[in-house]
Structure 1
Amino acid sequence: MTMMMPRQGHSAEQQWHQMFTHGLSFYMPKSSALGRTAQFFVKCTGVLIDYNYVVVAAHCVHWNALQTNICLGEDPGFQLVVKNQLKVFYGSNDITRANVVAVSKISVPSFFDYDKPEPRENDIAVIKLQHRLTIERDFVVPICLLNNPTFLQGQTVTAVGRALADPTSFFGMSGDDLNHLNEIQTEMVSNSYCQRLYSDLRMSYNKSSMICGGVSKKGVLKGDCGGPLQVEKNGVYYLIGLTITSFSAVEYRDIMPDAFTKVSQHCPFIAAHTQNKVHCLTNEYSVEELQNCTKFYDKILFEKYQKTCLFTDFVDGSTKNLCRYP
């Protein structure tokens, strides 16, 4: 996965959200289609949620040797990528200059079904890095998560990836462009509208576990799959979605908003597979309170979380606080 370093000329508040521009790549050691050992290079986009963990779309950590489509294929016969086949690139928005870290674990929801056509439900995976990154050495910072974010139709959001479509630049995109991570401003589209539109085209869309966004000829393309959809509130950037379709790249470019996994629906999964290191925030915070979601702010979070962690034992009626002081 590649992660973008802060760009020159950005303010401190603007800089730290740049870290979660990532591109995922992995190698298949053998291709059954060729009948001999081969390397197969696939790139996706993901997002850093902790100095040890990355989230990405689940379909990005599956492969099919016979055929791949824009978002890595719909054919049966898929396999989960073995952890030593996956390499994560970070530290630069240029994948050719990025640093590399190996992966120690890949976690995918047991109810994720790769055989279903996109957009697939529960399309999310947690990747544990082999060694911990740091802001001082690696110039990366995790993005924050919200437990129950609110979305408004037309709200401005930012998508991140290697091949984002913009009517002024897409048709001139070269191979070199695909090695660079970019961001694009787009708009949220109402879930009710997307559900009707997808249903009319006989496509599955679950508005409780998905969100959608994008305008005509401006959205995600191949290489953007798994990448973050982010929103800024009070100077803090939050991860709200992961790219799971790329209709703007194919025949639906002019009419189909892109679909994203609704990250807030998977807060328990994320917590469980990060050893309870990553939790979705119950409240929004200002940039002064919560710049990086790092341990530096754990005391602030603990003090504000205490009331939400109270638990009443139904057996003896006693009240307990489930929060642990950092």
Structure 2
Amino acid sequence: MYKLLRLILLALLPMQAVNANEMTMRIVGGNPVGQNAWPSVVAIKTTRDGQVLCGGNLIHPMWVLTAGHCIKGEAEGLYYEYGTPDLVIFSGATGLDSPNGRHMQIQRIVVHPNYNMSNGANDVALLMLSAPLEGATMPVYADNPAPGTPATVVGWGARTAKANNGYPGNYPRQMEQVTVPIVPNEVCNAPNSYGGKIQSSMLCAGYPQGGRDACVGDSGGPLMVQQNGVYRQIGIVSQGEGCAMAGKYGIYTRVASYAGWIQQFAPPPYAQAPVAQASDPRANYPGGAGTLNITWLGFLALLLCLVKKYRFRSQPQGI
């Protein structure tokens, strides 16, 4: 059902064959991103072997937004669940081998209380970092973009829908991105697509002919649209049948449906920053642009005093 986690697939392959039609997710048909692209996007790695498990997006200096199935679920009939000691956040670089990358510990994991492992409903989770991450944050989009709106999804997931072994493969070391249009839920629910399985809290994106999609390893990563020159997150890579298959659009968690829940942990201005503030990433954490420095406060106070003094001296006596 899910854009399954690469680690789980690899762990289960020796035990039993994986259904090639299992619902999974990755970047197929995309391109590598630049070195400084998407500074809010992070990789979620396992502490066991350092492999990329999922993607995520920094929506607050302390909180990463990702998918619930990146934390717990069922794969091939086996239950899995990760705790804070099992995961680490990689940020600050689009290349997994970059010396600029930084690893951050996680102190808390919050999976949506109504997350349904069987059908992927409410597939959303938040990871609380052990310390604030001084980097660009991305506001979530608390509205629903119109069908046809171009949206970009990024990640380090598989680039090939079926490798030599019949499973997704060709995992990059450099983050990749692909742009796909938003698809109406009624189109995604058509008999030749998902036949009514798409709920209102889910969002579809892709092309009817396939060819471009997210894939295994991209789970939890952000789907983003541009608004007034600022990118906002509208979706979370969740599930889909196969990778980039015709009529099988990528299925994302619709972030707008969970804005209230997200803000319980990552309150404004982080989770829903105004466009004017979000246009400068430094405005999204204390001490960045948009924070009034005490030195300037003192200067302004002095200036006001001088203006006031000059004004009263220049007035005619007796007034």
The match for 2:296 is none
Equivalent residue for 1:100? 103
> Is this contact kept in 1: 2:190–2:196, CA < 8 A?
no
Aligned partner of residue 106 in structure 1, secondary structure: strand
Report the AA paired with residue 204 of structure 1. Answer: K
In the other structure, the counterpart of 1:23 is 43
Q: What secondary structure is seen at the aligned counterpart in 2 of 1:23?
A: strand
Cα distance, 1:276–1:105 mapped onto 2, change above 3 Å: farther
Distance in 2 (alpha carbons) for counterparts of 1:76 and 1:176: 25
User: Which digits, 9 at most, give the CA deviation of each residue in 1:151-201, with x for residues without a partner?
Assistant: 22222110111136589xx979x9774322111111111121112347x65
Q: Given the superposition, is the C-alpha separation of residues 279 and 40 from structure 1 closer, same or farther in structure 2, using an over 3 Å criterion?
A: closer
1:245-286 deviations in whole A, cap 9, x for unaligned?
Answer: 14352xx712211110011111121111236774335x6x35
Given that residues 160 and 169 in structure 2 are in contact (C-alpha distance below 8 angstroms), is that contact kept between their aligned partners in structure 1? no
TM-score by length of 2: 0.68
Alignment correspondent of 1:261? 253
Larger radius of gyration: 2
Query: Any residues of structure 2 matched to 1:28-67 within 5 Å, and which?
Result: 41=51, 43-62=53-72
Aligned pair partner of 2:230 in 236, 247, 264? 236
SS at match of 1:269: helix
2:67 and 2:123 in contact (8 A); partners too: yes
Which residue, out of 9, 34, 38, partners 1:7? 34
Residues 264 and 236 (structure 1), Cα distance of their counterparts in 2 relative to 1, 3 Å cut = same
In the alignment, residue 259 of structure 1 is paired with which amino acid? I
Which residue identity is paired with 2:38? Q
Decide whether aligned partners of structure 1 residues 124 and 219 sit closer, same or farther in structure 2, where only a CA change above 3 A counts.
same
1:220 is matched by which residue type in structure 2? A
Is 1:205 matched with 2:198? yes
Q: How do 1:152-191 residues align onto structure 2 when only pairs under 5 Å count? A: 152-163=146-157, 165=159, 177-191=171-185
Change (3 A) 1:127 1:102: same
Alpha-carbon separation, structure 1, partners of 2:86 and 2:215: 24
- Taking every aligned residue pair, what percent have the same amino acid on both sides? 20
Describe the SS at the equivalent of 1:253: coil
Letter in 1 for 2:59: I
- How many angstroms apart in 2 are the aligned matches of 1:229 and 1:197? 25
Structure-1 separation of matches of 2:42 and 2:73: 19
> Residues 178, 273 of structure 1: CA spacing in aligned structure 2 closer, same or farther, 3 A cutoff?
same
Distance 1:19 1:62, change over 3 A: same
Other-structure match for 1:127: 127
1:61 Cα deviation after fit: 1.1
Distance in 2, matches of 1:289 and 1:203, equals 36
2:132 maps to 1:112: no
Measured in 2, the distance between the counterparts of 1:163 and 1:106 equals: 22
Distance 1:25 1:239 in 2: 21
Structure 1-normalised TM-score?
0.67
Structure 1, unpaired ranges of 5+? 1-5, 9-14, 29-38, 65-72, 136-140, 300-326
Q: Which has the higher contact order (CA 8 A, sep 6+)?
A: 2
2:226 partner amino acid: E
Q: Could you tell me which residue of structure 2 aligns to residue 227 of structure 1?
A: 221
Cα distance in 2 for residues equivalent to 1:289 and 1:92: 21
Distance change in 2, residues 1:201/1:267 (3 Å) = closer
Runs of at least 4 residues of structure 1 off by over 6 A?
none
Matched with 1:75 is 77
How many residues align structurally? Answer: 250
Q: Check the 8 A contact 2:59/2:271 in 1, yes or no.
A: no
Which residue type is aligned with residue 270 of structure 1? I
Match of residue 323 from structure 1: none
Instruction: Please give the alpha-carbon distance, in whole angstroms, between the structure 2 residues aligned to 1:231 and 1:132.
Output: 25
Equivalent in the alignment of 1:274: 266
Spell out, residue by residue over 1:89-141, the C-alpha distance to the aligned partner (whole angstroms, 9 max, x if none): 11111123322111000001111121x14xx1110000011111113xxxxx0
Closer/same/farther in 2, CA of residues 197 and 49 from structure 1, 3 Å limit:
farther
Q: Is the 8 A contact 2:88 2:105 kept in 1?
A: yes
Q: Return 5+ residue gaps in structure 2 as ranges.
A: 1-32, 293-319
CA contact (8 A) 2:68 2:123 kept: yes
Aligned-residue offset at 1:241: 0.1
